[in-house]
Chain A
Amino acid sequence: MRLTSGTKAGAVLAATALLAAGCSGSPDDGSEPTGPVELTFWTWAGLGEVVDIWNAENPDIQVVVNEQDGGDPAVTKLLTAIEAGSGAPDIMQAEYQKIPQLVSNDAVADISGLLSEETPGHFADGVWNAVTLGSDAVYAVPQDSGPMQFYYRADIFEKYDLEVPTTWEEYAEVARELHEKDPDKYLGTFSANDAGWFVGLTQQAGASWYGIEGESWSVNIDSPEVRQVAEYWGGLVEEGVIDNKPMYTPEWNQGLNDGTQVGWLSAIWAPGVLNSNAPDTAGKWEMAPMPQWDESAEATGTWGGSATAVTTQSEHPEQAARFIEWLNTDPVAVQALVDVSSLYPADVAGSEDALAEPPEFFSNQEDFYEIAAQTAQTTQPFTYGPNINVAYSAYNDEFAKATEARSADAFVAAVEAMQQITVDDLVNSGFDVAE
């Protein structure tokens, strides 16, 4: 709860800073360079066509998209360029969980003075907090978010006469029932490869892996909420009613295609993945809110989503800031983010019109985006820390062992080990860590 008040304080501070900045920052203060400015943009969200719209309208600020492989390699490349002192782009796509690490390595610039005062109002408090880290600086503009939902094969649910689970207890029962009726089929898999997915599950349960207490960090991975989630999944894997294979493998794709993977706890971008991995199952899937721990307090977590940042090496931060502001809050751009890049924009109010129709893959579910908007509002606050990369790789290793061991005790032990590894790394690096 300390976090929530910290979030508010941060938001207030950020707002005041922006007001102050709004008065002084006018784009036409004579420092405009002559001739068109070229900005490079590292992204992997398929934004090429959206950027084309900007380039057509802004001959003086031309943005060149440089396609990246994905979040991790792009961050590695950026940090290397920052370390080297040159070679970084002007603009960088940054996943929310990477922002503390990027800020801590002095890779992304504070653009609080360069944004319009209306910009923060476009985003939910929780999302805005992720780009300010609760401080009065602004390190990025949110682009898309990934509230989590439960995706399932409606046809198979019908065939086996299964009810869509609304609580985790029901989810476990459905998992058992399905696996009993067809031992080849699983309601889901516990993937040791996807730390971000596990973060979302624990976020829903009310966990926040990090916290800021005054001038020090606290690490709360080994918390009652995370243990609860770990024990629950460990139990299901131990029983054998939930699969233990990683996601995003050829085998998992095969499972999505042939119906051995009947459900997927995923995020709003799931239709895109299902469409490319299992195109033949179009129209067979449906989406429902996440099963709940406490039915009286609907909650969800997030998986994925990113913001757009200006790097500290950019020679044109002002122009870059103007572009990322347009990209993520202008109605035309937001519409294009939905239509062209299939993103779920963080500027939820601005994208209401764009999200009227369900995605093609879910054309059978009219209320797709209604449910999405409803669940997005129940996203729980969460704070990422500066060594989330260490926590993530610890997740990969520790939970790989645990899922292979197939025991609930091993799952809890994995949580303990993650806490230890993450704290040790922070202390080793010299961060102030609160016990």
Chain B
Amino acid sequence: MPEPITQDTPRRRATDARRPASAHALAPPSGTRARHGGATRRGRHIAPWAFLSPAIVLFTLFLAAPIGYSVYLSFRTEKVSGLGLGSGSRQEVWNGVANYVSAVADTEFLASVGRIGLYGLIVVPVMLGSALLFALLLDARRTRARRFGRITIFLPYAVPAVISSLLWGFLYLPAVSPFYWVFDRLGWSVPSLFGPNLVIFAVANIAIWGGIGFNMVVLYTALKSVPSELYEAAELDGASQIGIAWRIKIPIVLPAIIMTFVFSMIATLQVFAEPTTLRPLSNAISTTWTPLMKVYRDAFTRGDLYSAAATSVVIAVATFVLSFGFLRLVQSRAFGQEER
């Protein structure tokens, strides 16, 4: 980004000629002065801000301000006096870091963290592994019905998580599931997926089913950008298709794999819709099954926005640290060529 400024003075002049017009259109107050010397410079300063302002305004209003407010709330709490009836019996007061202390020490929160840890161990490798496999298969030379295959694999991603959870929920419930009907006819006794030990697989399955498509498309697109000369060279050297996939394709799309990994990790930390939708169907999913479900329960079932805010800040920081920590860790390996 910095190099055009030092090198490209002529081009900068050329764009300058066009600047006053745009400055005039976007920032009328400065337009009157545009004729005087130095005003073009001023216009140059304003224009980027004018272009950026919609994004900045939206970002501030809908992201930065709510985050700031949550952080503020996380240091507050509500104190009730007496019976807490009637107006004015509730007061918002400062609470220091007490919300954070209780959020981090909460056994249900820790249990939910452990649960999504396990959930992530199931979901991420299976989902990304399958996505990569599908992408490689679609990219392989002899694959037929490529378009059809791509759309079919991608389609589940277009189904909203709540809908897919309801659909899968029906399939999991032994009394209404066609699968269990078949198992029954075959005389197999298959345990309910809504039991306390298997329910995590039931939830993970929905996420995997819905997530493969998206990740497959990302990886497939990355594969498409690999120049075909590389494959030709490899084939001349006698490499098999599997060899090409393993030694050429995968290393080249590694940055894309890392990106999908980071996305999947974030999605794992934020899993909410699937277990929340399945909860009424099963005794095995508690209201604090995942960290975000606990936040939701605290805020909207218990009406305690303050603890909920503290827990969300903890989750946000953890997500941030994990994502960037991981990126730092792999940066030198995966993006090494770009850096150097």
Residues on A lying within 8 angstroms of B by beta carbon are 72, 76, 79, 100-101, 103-106, 133, 135, 137, 192-193, 212, 215-217, 244-246, 248-251, 254-255, 260, 312, 386-387, 389-390, 392-393, 396-397, 400-401, 403-404, 425, 429-432
Residues 251-289 of B contacting A (Cβ, < 8 Å) = 280-288
Q: Is the interface of B mostly helix, strand, loop or mixed?
A: loop
10 closest Cβ pairs, A-B complex: A430-B79, A251-B175, A400-B283, A430-B80, A106-B87, A251-B173, A397-B286, A404-B283, A104-B84, A254-B175
A393-B302, A404-B196 given as contacts; is B283 within 8 A of A104 (CB)? no
- B165-182: contact bitstring with A at CB < 8 Å (1 yes, 0 no)? 000011001111000000
Inside 8 A of A432's CB, which chain B residues have their CB?
A: 81-83
Closest approach, in angstroms, between the C-beta of A400 and any C-beta of chain B?
A: 4
Bound-state CA distance A392–B300 (Å) is: 13
Bound-state CA distance A387–B88 (Å) is: 17
Contact partner, A133, options B85, B174, B285, Cβ 8 Å: B85
Bound-state CA distance A246–B284 (Å) is: 11
- B283-301: contact bitstring with A at CB < 8 Å (1 yes, 0 no)? 1111110000000010011
Inside 8 A of B232's CB, which chain A residues have their CB?
A: none
Closest approach, in angstroms, between the C-beta of B145 and any C-beta of chain A?
A: 35
Inside 8 A of B282's CB, which chain A residues have their CB?
A: 246
Evaluate contact between B288 and A397: CB separation under 8 angstroms: yes
B195 closest partner in A (C-beta): A404
Evaluate contact between B87 and A312: CB separation under 8 angstroms: yes
Contact partner, A103, options B78, B86, B288, Cβ 8 Å: B86
Residues 287-325 of B contacting A (Cβ, < 8 Å) = 287-288, 297, 300-304
Inside 8 A of A104's CB, which chain B residues have their CB?
A: 80, 84-85, 89-90
Bound-state CA distance A106–B281 (Å) is: 34
Inside 8 A of B82's CB, which chain A residues have their CB?
A: 215-216, 431-432
Residues on B lying within 8 angstroms of A by beta carbon are 78-90, 169-170, 173-176, 195-196, 280-288, 297, 300-304
Evaluate contact between A76 and B300: CB separation under 8 angstroms: yes
A135-B85, A215-B83, A429-B79 given as contacts; is B302 within 8 A of A248 (CB)? no
A106-B87, A254-B176, A389-B302 given as contacts; is B283 within 8 A of A192 (CB)? yes
26 A-B pairs (CB sep. < 8 Å): A76-B300, A101-B303, A103-B86, A133-B85, A192-B283, A212-B83, A215-B82, A215-B83, A245-B283, A246-B281, A248-B280, A249-B173, A249-B280, A249-B281, A254-B175, A260-B175, A386-B84, A389-B302, A390-B302, A393-B287, A393-B297, A396-B287, A397-B286, A397-B288, A400-B285, A429-B84
B170 closest partner in A (C-beta): A250
Bound-state CA distance A106–B87 (Å) is: 5
Bound-state CA distance A59–B288 (Å) is: 49
A105-B90, A249-B281, A250-B176 given as contacts; is B78 within 8 A of A216 (CB)? no
A139 closest partner in B (C-beta): B85
A251-B175, A397-B286 given as contacts; is B85 within 8 A of A425 (CB)? no
Evaluate contact between B85 and A103: CB separation under 8 angstroms: yes
Bound-state CA distance A192–B285 (Å) is: 11
Inside 8 A of B287's CB, which chain A residues have their CB?
A: 393, 396-397
Evaluate contact between B83 and A404: CB separation under 8 angstroms: no
Inside 8 A of B175's CB, which chain A residues have their CB?
A: 250-251, 254-255, 260
Evaluate contact between B84 and A251: CB separation under 8 angstroms: no
Bound-state CA distance A17–B169 (Å) is: 53
Evaluate contact between A193 and B280: CB separation under 8 angstroms: yes
Closest approach, in angstroms, between the C-beta of A319 and any C-beta of chain B?
A: 21
A103 closest partner in B (C-beta): B85
Evaluate contact between B283 and A430: CB separation under 8 angstroms: no
For the complex with contacts A386-B80, A393-B301, 15 further pairs of A-B residues with Cβ separation under 8 Å are A72-B301, A103-B85, A104-B89, A105-B90, A105-B303, A215-B82, A217-B83, A246-B281, A389-B302, A400-B285, A401-B283, A404-B196, A429-B79, A429-B80, A432-B82
Bound-state CA distance A387–B80 (Å) is: 12
Inside 8 A of B85's CB, which chain A residues have their CB?
A: 100, 103-104, 133, 135, 386
Bound-state CA distance A404–B284 (Å) is: 7
Bound-state CA distance A389–B90 (Å) is: 17
Bound-state CA distance A204–B210 (Å) is: 47
Bound-state CA distance A312–B84 (Å) is: 16
Interface centre among B283, B297, B302 (most CB of A within 10 A): B283
Inside 8 A of A400's CB, which chain B residues have their CB?
A: 283-286
Inside 8 A of B304's CB, which chain A residues have their CB?
A: 429
Closest approach, in angstroms, between the C-beta of A74 and any C-beta of chain B?
A: 12
A251-B173, A396-B287 given as contacts; is B302 within 8 A of A425 (CB)? yes
Inside 8 A of A312's CB, which chain B residues have their CB?
A: 87
Bound-state CA distance A133–B170 (Å) is: 42
B284 closest partner in A (C-beta): A404
Bound-state CA distance A245–B243 (Å) is: 52
Inside 8 A of A100's CB, which chain B residues have their CB?
A: 85
Inside 8 A of A72's CB, which chain B residues have their CB?
A: 301
Bound-state CA distance A289–B169 (Å) is: 35
Evaluate contact between B84 and A246: CB separation under 8 angstroms: no
Inside 8 A of B86's CB, which chain A residues have their CB?
A: 103, 106, 137
Inside 8 A of B195's CB, which chain A residues have their CB?
A: 404
A217-B83, A429-B84 given as contacts; is B286 within 8 A of A396 (CB)? yes
Bound-state CA distance A389–B300 (Å) is: 10
Inside 8 A of B80's CB, which chain A residues have their CB?
A: 104, 386, 429-431
Contact partner, A430, options B81, B87, B169, B303, Cβ 8 Å: B81
Closest approach, in angstroms, between the C-beta of A275 and any C-beta of chain B?
A: 20
A106-B90, A216-B82 given as contacts; is B303 within 8 A of A79 (CB)? yes
Inside 8 A of A429's CB, which chain B residues have their CB?
A: 78-80, 84, 304
Closest approach, in angstroms, between the C-beta of B51 and any C-beta of chain A?
A: 33
Closest approach, in angstroms, between the C-beta of B313 and any C-beta of chain A?
A: 19
